[in-house]
């Protein structure tokens, strides 16, 4: 948060958990950051009535007493932006947890503060503009190689417009060094450094929003083929406890076609978040072969941390995402989970004595969800580049009940719904995304991209989806009369659906080949499964049986192709396709003779 002079203004009059009231606050403004009590706990003004301000405190208020002072800062809650963000683990108000842990140990002391970005570390700055150049918000005037994976562009803040008066030469500078000066349109001068600040609750401006036409490739076949998300889109992963939300999000963070990853652990259990914090630094980026943390920011707010900080954490994460988007990067935000965030809203609302709505959640829950998800998008930045923020939020409905308010309201503001199924999770089917309850409204826009790779993609995808839908109906009948009582053609549908589920939809996250599936391999697998299904239907019509089909030697290889054929092994793909079709031809000739 931006350093500024603090002024003793108010006096605490009431303490109610994370919500306090202070009097003598006539000079305070809405959403202004304040420091509360003798420990200078960070808080934010959320209501002003006469000279009494209501403040939500982002730290534990135990021991806080009426009569202690309140200090105003005169600024909104903001994040510091600049080189050094990547690879850092923050809490919800952008305090670097690694630095605080080194200073205070395992337990964070109340009132503990640390610089969000290292002000002493020097970065090699390369200027891109010279004195006299006209600049405006978003103009890139320099660059810093922040990590080996990411080039950090130093941009003019959105509210600045004028001409450069001076520019320091290429060299090593600390983040707060004034590297250039700008003469603004009103004649005043403003110095710019490698760092800038932005209020977390205010979306960063863009030149225009662009249509969502490109898929965000994830390497998960059930997503990319059946329920795709567009680059710049918003998706939700709802599911009960143990259905694999966190595991799916971690896979998306590793494999999604995004250059920057923002992972927000919002209200998750401490042991789960600890596992994330331990595993992420050890994950290897498949694109660069180096640590995934070189292009990742983690925001950790566990369930035992103050609820007010949990509420603000998603705004901190989305603001960091917009900053890298403005550099022209594709950013993916993983929010795990928005249900815990909504529970924090509910607790704060209750302490504010507001009228509750459905299940005790505040009436403004839909508006808050909308303000988060609508900050996603594919845009033309102020500098004229193309950037995107894709938001994937996990939802944890109690008991897996998708009719509860958070899931229902979330579905209004997203266009991609990946519903996790407990039965699939219990059967160790990964990812446990239900093809019966999931949907994607991005399919019409993204299908054109896939059709450029294979013009029959849409027909193949719809063909397999029809089989899966038909299998659902047949399973209901089979439970009543038994599968053996079904006609041979319907039993074939059940067999093909089982092959689709095992050979295509299910993936092995521990298999070096199957953990990620390239678009080319997905297209080939899709085409091969459709070819087999159509030929098998013809064989049954010609008088063949399921037993004849199960004796086809290549069928076993069809079931194992996902883990036996590498993404780039086109020769093996061609060989298996030719072998399967040749053996099906032989079976057809045998039946005709």
Helix ranges restricted to H, 384-518:
405-413, 422-426, 443-453, 457-481, 488-500
3-state secondary structure at position 396: coil
Question: What is residue 337's DSSP assignment?
Answer: T
* Nearest alpha-carbon partner for 555 in 538, 524, 525, 576: 576
**Integer angstrom CA distances of residue 259 from 66, 123, 182, 322, 487:** 48, 21, 31, 13, 51
In this prediction, residue 501 carries a pLDDT of: 96
Give the mean model confidence (pLDDT) for residues 551-561. 94
Mean pLDDT rounded to a whole number for the chain: 92
Ranges of beta strands (E only) in 37-82 are 41-49, 52-57, 69-76, 78-81
Domains present along the chain, CATH in parentheses: 7-76 (2.40.30.20), 119-197 (2.40.50.100), 208-442 (3.40.50.300), 454-592 (1.10.1140.10)
pLDDT band per the 50, 70, 90 thresholds, residue 3 = very low
The half-sphere exposure of 423 on its side-chain side, counting CA atoms within 13 A, is: 4
Answer with the residue of higher pLDDT: 7 or 320.
320
Residue 288 in contact with residue 360, Cβ under 8 Å? no
102 burial type by CB count under 10 A (0-12 exposed, 13-18 middle, 19+ buried): exposed
Phi-psi region of 250 (alpha: psi -120 to 50; beta: other; left: phi over 0): alpha
Give the mean model confidence (pLDDT) for residues 464-487. 91
Tens digits of residue pLDDT in 310-361: 889 999 999 999 999 999 999 999 998 899 999 999 999 999 989 999 999 9
Tens digits of residue pLDDT in 27-63: 899 999 999 999 999 999 999 998 999 999 998 898 8
Q: Report the distance separating Cα 419 and Cα 230, nearest Å.
A: 17
* Nearest alpha-carbon partner for 240 in 432, 82, 24, 398: 398
In this prediction, residue 6 carries a pLDDT of: 65
Place of tokens 């029809």: 466
pLDDT at 271 over 80: no
Q: Report the distance separating Cα 542 and Cα 65, nearest Å.
A: 85
For the beta carbon of residue 199, count every other beta carbon within 10 angstroms: 17
- Provide the whole-model pTM: 0.93
Rg (CA), the chain: 28
């Amino acid at each position: 948060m931006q350093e500024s002079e603090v002024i003793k203004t108010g006096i605490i009059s009431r303490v109610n958990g994370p919500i306090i009231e202070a009097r003598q606050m006539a000079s305070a403004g809405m959403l202004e950051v304040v420091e509360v009590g003798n420990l200078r706990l960070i808080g934010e003004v959320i209501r002003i009535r006469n000279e009494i301000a209501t403040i939500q405190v982002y730290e534990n208020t135990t021991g806080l007493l009426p009569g202690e002072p309140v200090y105003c800062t005169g600024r909104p809650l903001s994040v510091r932006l600049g080189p050094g963000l990547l690879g850092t683990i923050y809490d919800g108000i952008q305090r670097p947890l690694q630095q605080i842990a080194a200073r205070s140990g395992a337990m964070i002391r109340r009132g503990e503060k640390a610089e969000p970005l290292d002000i002493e570390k020097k970065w090699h700055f390369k200027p891109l503009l010279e004195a006299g150049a006209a600049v405006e918000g978003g103009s890139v005037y320099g660059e810093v190689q922040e990590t080996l994976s990411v080039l950090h562009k130093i941009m003019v803040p959105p509210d600045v417009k004028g001409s450069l008066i001076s520019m320091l030469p290429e060299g090593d500078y600390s983040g707060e060094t004034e590297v250039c000066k700008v003469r603004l349109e009103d004649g005043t001068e403003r110095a710019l450094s490698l760092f800038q600040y932005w209020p977390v609750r205010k979306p960063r401006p863009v030149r225009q929003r662009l249509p969502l036409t490109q898929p965000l490739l994830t390497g998960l076949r059930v997503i990319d083929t059946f329920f795709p998300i567009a680059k710049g889109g918003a998706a939700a992963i709802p599911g009960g406890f143990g259905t694999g939300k966190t595991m799916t999000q971690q896979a998306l963070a590793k494999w999604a076609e995004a250059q920057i990853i923002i992972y927000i652990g919002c209200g998750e259990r401490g042991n789960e978040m600890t596992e994330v914090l331990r595993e992420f630094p050890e994950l290897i980026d498949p694109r660069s072969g180096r640590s995934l943390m070189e292009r990742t920011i983690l925001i950790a707010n566990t369930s035992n941390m103050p609820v007010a900080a949990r509420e603000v954490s998603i705004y901190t994460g989305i603001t960091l995402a917009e900053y890298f988007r403005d550099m022209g990067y594709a950013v993916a935000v993983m929010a795990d989970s928005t249900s815990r965030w909504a529970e924090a809203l509910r607790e704060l609302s209750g302490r504010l004595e507001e009228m509750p709505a459905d299940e005790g959640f505040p009436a403004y829950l839909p508006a808050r969800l909308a303000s988060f998800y609508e900050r996603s998008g594919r845009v033309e930045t102020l500098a004229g580049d193309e950037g995107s923020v894709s938001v994937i939020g996990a939802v944890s409905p109690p008991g897996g009940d998708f009719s509860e308010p958070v899931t229902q309201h979330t579905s209004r503001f997203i266009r991609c719904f990946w519903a996790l199924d407990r039965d699939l999770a219990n059967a160790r089917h990964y990812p446990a995304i239900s093809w019966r309850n999931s949907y994607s409204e991005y399919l019409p826009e993204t299908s054109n991209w896939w059709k450029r790779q294979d013009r029959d993609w849409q027909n193949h995808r719809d063909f397999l989806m029809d089989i899966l839908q038909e299998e659902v109906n047949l399973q209901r009948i089979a439970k009543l009369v038994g599968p053996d009582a079904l006609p041979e053609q319907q039993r074939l549908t059940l067999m093909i659906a089982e092959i689709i589920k095992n050979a295509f939809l299910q993936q092995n996250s521990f298999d070096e080949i199957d953990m990620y599936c390239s678009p080319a391999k997905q297209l080939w697998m899709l085409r091969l499964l459709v070819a087999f299904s159509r030929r098998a239907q013809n064989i049954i019509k010609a008088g063949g049986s399921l037993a004849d089909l199960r004796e086809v030697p290549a069928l076993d290889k069809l079931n194992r192709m996902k883990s036996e054929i590498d993404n780039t092994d086109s020769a093996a793909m061609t060989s298996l396709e030719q072998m399967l079709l040749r053996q099906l031809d032989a079976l057809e000739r045998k039946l005709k003779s």
